[in-house]
Structure 1
């Protein structure tokens, strides 16, 4: 019985990974000869929730479901790229994040 669940889990994970890719329009030789650097891609925005109220114990147990649904969540965009990512060579290696020039 455990093997069946294991196989179903692997199938589920492999299908989600297969469908998560973006380049579905290429087939055959076009897919084989695809060069990433020749095509422009648009960056996707990734959001995270902030200021979540963590309720545990009896407070969580006694909280009503309709109160949970009405909670407004604040989303903030995750930005990638810092001052350090712009540096190259020894400057990147020797970057001290605590010595920022403001």
Structure 2
């Protein structure tokens, strides 16, 4: 019984810790918040370039703590000319036509 109560308490606390960042809004301002009208800081996402591709028994028997290879991370670039469009122009965007904007 103690484990169940402890698990529920940890789950309840973790929900509060990982809440969304616009917690300063309350009431109708929170309900009517329009995220598209506010600028937010972009988050940089990284991907590993030379990841080893193991399959079968090699993947099953690998030891991650024994991996000494250098990891190279590259930022993923997001954004294109299509992401600047809104409404019907976004919907009807044709990538094969180069001079759209």
- TM-score, length-normalised on structure 2? 0.54
In structure 2, the residue matched to 1:101 is 98
Larger % of helix: which? Answer: 1
Partner SS state of residue 48, structure 1: strand
In structure 2, the residue matched to 1:81 is 79
**Aligned CA distance change for structure 1 residues 92 and 10 (closer, same or farther; 3 Å):** farther
How big is the shift at 1:86? 0.8
Separation in 2, partners of 1:58, 1:91: 50
In structure 2, the residue matched to 1:44 is 43
Structure 1: runs of 5 or more not aligned: none
Per-residue displacement from partner, 1:4-47 (whole Å, max 9, x unpaired)? 4xx937953x54343234457x5xxxx42677767x64333222
Partner SS state of residue 91, structure 1: helix
- TM-score, length-normalised on structure 1? 0.53
How big is the shift at 1:96? 2.3
Separation in 2, partners of 1:88, 1:22: 26
**Aligned CA distance change for structure 1 residues 43 and 10 (closer, same or farther; 3 Å):** farther
Report the count of equivalent residues.
90
Structure 2: runs of 5 or more not aligned: none
Residues 23-34 of structure 1: pairs in structure 2 closer than 5 A: 26=24, 31-32=25-26
